[in-house]
Structure 1
């Protein structure tokens, strides 16, 4: 299996001194479960949905051969809020990104994460709800994480330990542990 993790700096794992972020932890769990896995972290710092839309297909298709079991895990949205991207444009971009991803292989969406600023987090909550609607319309499995992470003392502490946008390592570990417990992720990655 080839797994592509595509998104912004929270997908990249900025703030994680281990260099794993949540994608590295998911990939590690898959390999420990016996999966023959090649994985790529295609997170790019400050990438809005507009930038992800522009680069995704090219970056993914350069890294696989036709006929391979290719899975795309996407997560984005916080950079849109930080860069004042209008919500309507974020939703249009999300729909185009997810539809393009589905044309390449099975696709999963992980919702955007909270930040240390409550006002910005509320905007992210609203964006996350809109992304869920896009996923439902397209039939893309998705895991909203903002509610769980906003209520997580470990994640909130990890945000404060770094820069209040990106968590330190324990925050990414909290997110990965949560994702690995969801049926959507376990089914999508063949961990059941």
Structure 2
């Protein structure tokens, strides 16, 4: 029997070991790849403007936003955690069950009802500050949407209320959209008969305008996942 050369059976063993090592290393990278590929799970935490007050189920802001993002190729799921009439206090109280496990990001839209009810702006600031802080502790990305005080509340109230949102965004270093109803508020053609809540066309306008900010939010989530 001819002797086995160094490039015979021994070489096959080495190739097997090398191949097995490569396989193990490849398997080891799968969880990270799977994590990166997982859909981005966003919760829209807000009041009637998020919930879709007066609209059909397919016309609510989270539904239309999800559709617009998916049309652009983003693998996202947006949960509607809007409660009509909710204040910043209510949002803080329900935060833990509204934003559960597996949530990557939150679009925070609260404060309009605080202003309408004349709640002390210091209370609104404290609540929103606490919400953002708790989300950051959970490593959940945040897009804070701003609100403006109604003119009938007076200049003193507006001076205390309006800066809450940009100042908290700067304090926490989160993404910021200055005014959720920009381009929609006071436009009768884009609002329901109450003049306060967007109609279906108004929601479309909000979605178009805020879409780039939400794409930044998605990019932040993807970056945190490592790719």
TM range (shorter): 0.7 to 0.9
Distance verdict in 2 for CA 1:146–1:113, change over 3 Å = farther
State the SS of the aligned residue for 1:85: coil
Unaligned runs of 5+ in 2: 1-39, 221-227
TM-score by length of 2: 0.69
1:120–1:23: structure 2 CA closer, same or farther, 3 Å change rule? farther
Aligned counterpart, 1:188: 217
**Could you tell me which residue of structure 2 aligns to residue 111 of structure 1?**
146
Cα-to-partner distance string for 1:115-167 (whole Å, 9 max, x where unaligned): xx6425975686342211011111111111268336x77x44323x3312212
- The higher-RCO structure (CA 8 Å, 6+ apart) is 1
2:106 alignment partner, SS class: strand
- Relative distance call for 1:147 and 1:103 in structure 2 (3 A) is same
Q: Determine the structure 1 residue equivalent to 2:126.
A: 92
- Greater Rg, structure 1 or structure 2? 2
| Structure 2 residue corresponding to 1:31, chosen from 70, 76, 82 | 70
Describe the shift of the 1:185–1:35 C-alpha distance in structure 2 as closer, same or farther (beyond 3 A). closer
Q: CA RMSD in A?
A: 2.7
TM (norm. structure 1) is 0.80
How far apart, CA to CA, are the structure 2 residues paired with 1:72 and 1:121? 31
Looking at structure 2, the residues matched to 2 and 96 of structure 1 have their Cα atoms a distance apart, in angstroms, of 22
C-alpha separation between the residues in 1 aligned to 2:164 and 2:178?
11
Unaligned residue ranges in structure 1 (runs of 5+)? none
> 1:91, CA displacement in angstroms?
0.4
Number of residue equivalences: 179
